[in-house]
Amino acid sequence: MLTHPVGRNFKVGQKVYFGRPNGEKTLGEIIKLNPSKARIRTLEDRGSRSVAGVIWTVPYSLIKPAEGAEATTAPVGLSIDDQFALEGALRSLVARYGLQAVSDKLAAIKKVPGAP
């Protein structure tokens, strides 16, 4: 149950802007609604500290709907928990082996006969 009254106005998949009132605003997509904060995946770079695709936990008071932006849905077959687990596993692999090695492994997986 959402405890913050403003949180009831949002839904998963909705495009929003988040940031401090007098600070930088970033376009993102809500991926999970918690009682007092939302999990938002950025759709654009946020300054020099963060690139698109990073997930932020943001209080509802710092979130505003993005006008004219339509909601999207998560990939079919992956729950939000599975997406978080996959993201964590990929981050771990990149930290351990480097981005190029992980990219090479993913490319090799796609070339396996019988794989979709």
pLDDT of residue 52: 81
CA distances (Å), 39 to each of 6, 10, 26, 33, 70, in order?
A: 15, 12, 13, 6, 18
Say what the pTM is.
0.56
Query: Do residues 63 and 36 lie in contact, with contact meaning Cβ atoms separated by under 8 Å?
Result: no
Residue 50, beta-bridge partner list:
46
Distance CA 17, CA 33 (A): 15
Long-range contacts of 77-85 (CB under 8 A, 24+ apart): 80/12, 80/31, 80/32, 83/31, 84/55
| pLDDT tens-digit series, residues 76-96 | 456 667 767 777 777 787 777
